[in-house]
């Protein structure tokens, strides 16, 4: 067989899915370079459009199933003001777990009754403000229930509470109450200044039937609580709706082909990888949960909720942020190694949080050259501008379609959900990457028109 000039890349690629907003921004190459220059370092880009669309899709899933439902944006997934501002405008609720998150949410205009406060053993000042504002509080433990009842009594108010269920399938979880504790909690609700609005859980992992099963149990708990004269008309199934970062065929090929020698220093990851492809994701996952028949029941969850008159609350973080942002670094050094390059960028892996969970954010970053360069596959890993051997943004040797050069940009796509800032730190006195809101110019119907930008500003 004749040898042709075409050489397949030696290492597998994993292209990230791109929403139109991302494509338009990448096409507006000079804007990315101008921002890198003007902001003087790495930065995060925030897109409002995909957030709005994801919220609408969750609401559509409730409407299609004929289920009363409410969407609460889980704020911990991103510290930007933008998404909380959009939540306020769209009439979404917000899930907060600290006084800082609560304060920002209220300042962004979300009415306090639309806030749910989650997290373990919440601080007294957080509980006090939540009670005074009339926010819903997911109570994690019996002693916390006593503290919130005490706070409400002292303030002459009534606290709105959910009781968080310890998932029976995750008995080692440190969150929630077991069956016995719940029973004790129900008795205490009956004669305290508390309105028991229902029950909640949040599961780690992305198992959809497990969520339907536990939701079925919570509906039964609502029926039981009502026999004790408690209101119990809503349940929250938390977040954990998967995000589909990559095409199924690309993900399959990647997982089949990738080997330790495809990573700088033959790095392996004990934390495993996020499932970057999910055939059922986001609002589709909510649809699947509503259509599933919970264990021990004969009807789908949607029918059980309707029959019991129970409202379903969901708290998506990552899934509402799908395609709602990206992160831009500038290459400031290129070092050649045995067949690949080590790039050094102007920031650190503290701005790409997956790297801190014994794992790697796998989707290929997109190379945006400073000047046009000839095509040809060049493999490179990506290191940070810090003095730590372990501070790598990408250990993997990514097959880039051009030779990376100093001054080129690397754009990590779809980073709004948890990647941007959950681990950020001004380590080495490097500035924290600012956040830039990018949206279509007003009145522009042309999707290829240059988008406009502003800084994300906290109220």
Provide the 10 A C-beta neighbour count for residue 76.
Answer: 17
288 in contact with ligand PLP (CB under 6 A) = no
What is the torsional sign of CA 64, 204, 101, 118? Answer: positive
- Residue whose CB is less far from ligand PLP, 285 or 398: 285
239 in contact with ligand PLP (CB under 6 A) = yes
Smallest gap from Cβ 29 to ligand PLP, in A, equals 31
Q: Which two tokens stand for residue 246?
A: 């990559």
Smallest gap from Cβ 153 to ligand PLP, in A, equals 26
- x-or-dash string of contact with ligand PLP, 164-203, rule CB under 6 A: --------------------------------------x-
157 in contact with ligand PLP (CB under 6 A) = no
Smallest gap from Cβ 207 to ligand PLP, in A, equals 12
318 in contact with ligand PLP (CB under 6 A) = yes
86 in contact with ligand PLP (CB under 6 A) = no
Q: Which two tokens stand for residue 448?
A: 């290829």
77 in contact with ligand PLP (CB under 6 A) = yes
Measured N-to-C along each axis, helices 82-90 and 48-65 cross at an angle, to the nearest 10 degrees, of 40
Cβ-contact 188, 228 below 8 angstroms: no
Q: Which two tokens stand for residue 60?
A: 């559509």
Beta partners for residue 386, in sequence order: none
Beta partners for residue 411, in sequence order: 328, 366
Region of 418 on the Ramachandran plot (φ > 0 left; ψ -120 to 50 alpha; else beta): left
Smallest gap from Cβ 319 to ligand PLP, in A, equals 6
Burial class (CB in 10 A: 0-12, 13-18, 19+), 180: exposed
282 in contact with ligand PLP (CB under 6 A) = no
Smallest gap from Cβ 73 to ligand PLP, in A, equals 9
Binding segment for ligand PLP (CB under 6 A), chosen from 182-190, 302-310, 311-319, 434-442, is 311-319
Among 50, 216, 316, 347, binds ligand PLP (CB under 6 A): 316
Provide the 10 A C-beta neighbour count for residue 336.
Answer: 10
Smallest gap from Cβ 202 to ligand PLP, in A, equals 4
SS (H, E, C) 291-351: HCCCCCCCCCHHHHHHHHCCEEEECCCCCCCCCCEEEEEEEEEEEECCCCEEEEECCCHHH
Residues 199-238 that bind ligand PLP (CB under 6 A): 202, 238
240 in contact with ligand PLP (CB under 6 A) = yes
- Residue whose CB is less far from ligand PLP, 127 or 430: 127
- Residue whose CB is less far from ligand PLP, 317 or 365: 317
- Residue whose CB is less far from ligand PLP, 96 or 345: 96
Smallest gap from Cβ 326 to ligand PLP, in A, equals 18
Distance CA 90, CA 40 (A): 34
Smallest gap from Cβ 315 to ligand PLP, in A, equals 4
241 in contact with ligand PLP (CB under 6 A) = yes
SS (H, E, C) 116-182: EECCCCCCHHHHHHHHHHCCEEEECCHHHHHHHHHHHHHHCCCEEEEEEECCCCCCCCCCCECHHHH
CA atoms within 13 A of residue 217's CA, in its CB half-sphere: 19
Q: Which residues bind ligand PLP (CB under 6 A)?
A: 74, 76-77, 95, 118, 202, 238-241, 315-319
């Amino acid at each position: 067989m004749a040898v042709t000039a075409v050489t397949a890349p030696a290492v597998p690629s994993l292209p990230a899915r791109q929403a139109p907003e991302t494509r338009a921004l990448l096409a507006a190459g000079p804007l990315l370079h101008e921002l890198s220059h003007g902001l003087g370092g790495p930065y995060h880009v925030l897109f409002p459009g995909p957030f709005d669309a994801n919220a609408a899709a969750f609401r559509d899933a409730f409407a299609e199933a004929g289920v009363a439902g409410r969407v609460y944006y889980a704020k911990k997934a991103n510290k930007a003001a933008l998404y909380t501002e959009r939540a306020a405008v769209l009439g979404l609720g917000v899930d907060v777990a600290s006084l800082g998150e609560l304060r920002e949410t209220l300042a962004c205009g979300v009415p306090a009754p639309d806030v749910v406060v989650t997290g373990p053993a919440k601080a007294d000042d957080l509980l006090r403000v939540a009670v005074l504002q009339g926010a819903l509080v997911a109570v994690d433990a019996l002693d916390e229930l006593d503290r919130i009842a005490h706070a409400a009594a002292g303030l002459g108010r009534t606290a709105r509470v959910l009781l968080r269920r310890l998932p029976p399938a995750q008995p080692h979880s440190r969150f929630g109450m077991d069956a016995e504790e719940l029973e004790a909690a129900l008795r205490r609700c009956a004669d305290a200044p508390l309105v028991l609005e229902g029950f909640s859980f949040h599961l780690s992992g992305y198992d959809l039937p497990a969520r339907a099963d536990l939701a079925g149990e919570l509906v039964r708990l609502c029926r039981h609580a009502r026999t004790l004269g408690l209101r119990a008309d809503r349940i929250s199934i938390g977040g954990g709706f998967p995000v589909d970062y990559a095409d199924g065929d690309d993900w399959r090929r990647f997982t089949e082909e990738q080997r330790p020698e495809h990573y700088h220093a033959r790095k392996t990851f004990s934390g495993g990888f996020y499932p970057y492809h999910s055939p059922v994701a986001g609002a589709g996952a909510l649809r699947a949960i509503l259509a599933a028949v919970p264990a021990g029941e004969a009807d789908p969850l949607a029918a059980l909720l309707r029959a019991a008159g129970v409202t379903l609350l969901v708290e998506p973080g990552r899934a509402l942020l799908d395609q709602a942002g990206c992160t831009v670094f500038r290459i400031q050094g290129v070092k050649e190694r045995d067949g690949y390059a080590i790039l050094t960028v102007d920031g650190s892996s503290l701005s790409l949080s997956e790297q801190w969970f014994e794992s790697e954010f796998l989707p290929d970053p997109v190379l945006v050259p400073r000047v046009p360069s000839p095509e040809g596959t060049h493999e490179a890993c990506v290191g940070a501008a810090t003095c730590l051997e372990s501070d790598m943004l990408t250990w993997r040797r990514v097959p880039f379609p051009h030779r990376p050069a100093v001054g080129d940009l690397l754009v990590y796509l779809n980073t709004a959900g948890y990647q941007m800032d959950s681990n950020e730190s001004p380590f080495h006195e490097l500035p924290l990457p600012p956040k830039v809101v990018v949206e279509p110019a007003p009145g522009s119907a042309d999707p290829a028109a240059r988008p406009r930008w502003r800084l994300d500003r906290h109220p």
